[in-house]
């Protein structure tokens, strides 16, 4: 019978396997040597990778799926009209998020996908330093906390978080007043871990910045992260939005890489809140270049949400590439995108 192997045959098989293994190891050795030679020639590469980073005291104990605060938020969010998730489902979170390394390359901020090689990072960082508002560039630092993928550019620690935040705050300032003197009162819808909130309040500690989200774990992480950074930004739980987002409270609603990941029903719900609260401006950054489209369930077309914005009385005032004015950086920069600024009629 075929599957019964005699002693001689077994020895021959073992010798063959050993030979193949040592050949493979030889190739691997060579590959390692070649890689380190390449690194020597290219200079320093990625400074740190996400799970090589030490967590701050208490983080491991707090950032747990069974944390009572997280469980409470999850139960409060259930059944809410903004939570019919098509992308941000339980499976997606399990696959795309390591709770304790929420600043790693994950669902919040991609750092190793879409133009994220060494040269792309250097190019984007130098662009942000040159075109960013000088006070923003000067005031924002960076570190590797919670697994952010850091890179050294001429002695300065750089991440996608830093690059995006410099460019977004510069754009907001320009559209709002252009004088770098004060940010509008901001409602950040789909605020992730509180990235921009921390940046805005570092630049301008008096800024009134509120984060909100329809995903419980995002609310949970942003509460933790903003406290960790000692940011005065607020976090509003989803079930508080109705009562807290009211006329006269906010000047600008921000939605960065979020509506693109929501179904149209959730987007409509948020846009109703924005319009009813008479928020004057809306800043949207979609995932899909110049298209403002939702994410629907399997087999369903993505829906245009620009018409929904316009239907609620907003008109497009400015639309601009993230790496404006450079078309070359827009082509090769880290995660190129488009900025949309809407204003109430």
Ligand X SMILES: C[S@@+](CC[C@H](N)C(=O)[O-])C[C@H]1O[C@@H](n2cnc3c(N)ncnc32)[C@H](O)[C@@H]1O
Residues that bind ligand X (CB under 6 A): 82, 85, 88, 108-109, 189-192, 195, 213-215, 218, 256-258, 261-262, 266
Count Cα atoms within 13 angstroms, Cβ side, for 70. Answer: 14
Shorter beta-carbon distance to ligand X: residue 129 or 283: 283
Shorter beta-carbon distance to ligand X: residue 133 or 199: 199
Helices (H), the chain: 7-42, 59-62, 68-77, 90-96, 118-131, 134-139, 160-176, 195-203, 216-228, 241-244, 264-276, 306-311, 327-332
Residues near 150 by beta carbon (within 8 Å), at least 6 away in sequence = 46, 47, 48, 142, 143, 144, 157, 158, 159
Q: In angstroms, what is the minimal distance from the CB of 303 to ligand X?
A: 14
Per the listing, tokens 């879409």 go with 114
Residue 57: C-alpha distances to residues 62, 63, 145 (Å): 10, 11, 12
Q: In angstroms, what is the minimal distance from the CB of 185 to ligand X?
A: 18
Q: In angstroms, what is the minimal distance from the CB of 245 to ligand X?
A: 13
Residue 69: C-alpha distances to residues 53, 63, 75, 233, 273 (Å): 25, 10, 10, 19, 26
Shorter beta-carbon distance to ligand X: residue 94 or 345: 94
Euclidean distance between CA atoms 189 and 185, whole angstroms: 13
DSSP states of 263-319:
-HHHHHHHHHHHHHTT-SEEEEE-SSTT--B---STT-PPPB-HHHHHHTTEEEEEE
Euclidean distance between CA atoms 126 and 195, whole angstroms: 20
Q: In angstroms, what is the minimal distance from the CB of 64 to ligand X?
A: 18
Shorter beta-carbon distance to ligand X: residue 37 or 291: 291
Retrieve residue 316's tokens.
Answer: 């497009």
Shorter beta-carbon distance to ligand X: residue 62 or 110: 110
Largest CA distance in the chain: 87
3-state secondary structure of 13: helix
Shorter beta-carbon distance to ligand X: residue 214 or 253: 214
Q: In angstroms, what is the minimal distance from the CB of 26 to ligand X?
A: 43
Euclidean distance between CA atoms 292 and 286, whole angstroms: 6
Retrieve residue 100's tokens.
Answer: 């304790």
Shorter beta-carbon distance to ligand X: residue 151 or 269: 269
Q: In angstroms, what is the minimal distance from the CB of 257 to ligand X?
A: 4
Euclidean distance between CA atoms 275 and 313, whole angstroms: 8
């Amino acid at each position: 019978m075929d599957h019964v192997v005699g002693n001689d045959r077994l020895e021959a098989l073992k010798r063959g396997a050993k030979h193949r293994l040592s050949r493979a190891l030889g190739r691997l050795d060579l590959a390692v040597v070649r890689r380190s030679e390449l690194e020597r020639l290219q200079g320093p590469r990625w400074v740190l990778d996400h799970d090589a980073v030490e967590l701050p005291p208490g983080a491991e104990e707090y950032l747990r799926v069974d944390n009572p605060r997280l469980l409470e938020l999850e139960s409060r969010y259930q059944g809410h009209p903004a939570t019919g998730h098509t992308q941000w489902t339980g499976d997606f979170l399990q696959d795309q998020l390591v709770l304790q390394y929420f600043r790693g390359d994950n669902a919040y901020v991609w750092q190793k996908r879409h133009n994220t090689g060494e040269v792309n990072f250097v190019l984007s960082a130098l662009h942000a330093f040159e075109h960013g508002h000088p006070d923003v560039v000067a005031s924002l630092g960076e570190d590797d906390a919670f697994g952010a993928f850091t890179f050294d550019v001429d002695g300065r620690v750089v991440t996608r978080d830093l690059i995006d935040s410099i460019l977004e705050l510069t754009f907001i300032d320009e559209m709002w007043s252009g004088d770098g003197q004060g940010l509008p009162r901001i409602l950040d819808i789909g605020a992730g871990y509180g990235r921009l909130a921390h940046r805005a309040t570092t630049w301008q500690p008096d800024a009134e910045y509120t984060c909100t989200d329809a995903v419980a774990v995002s609310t949970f992480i942003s509460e933790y992260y903003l406290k960790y950074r000692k940011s005065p930004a607020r976090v509003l739980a989803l079930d508080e939005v109705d009562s807290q987002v009211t006329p006269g409270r906010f000047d600008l609603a921000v939605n960065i890489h979020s509506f693109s990941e929501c179904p149209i029903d959730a987007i409509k719900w948020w846009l109703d809140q924005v319009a009813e609260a008479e928020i004057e401006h809306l800043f949207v950054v979609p995932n899909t270049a110049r298209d403002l489209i939702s994410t629907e369930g399997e087999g369903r077309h993505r829906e245009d949400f620009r018409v929904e914005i316009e239907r609620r009385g907003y008109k497009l005032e400015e639309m601009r590439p993230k790496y404006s004015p450079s078309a070359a950086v827009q082509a090769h920069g880290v995660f190129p995108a488009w900025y949309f600024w809407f204003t109430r009629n």
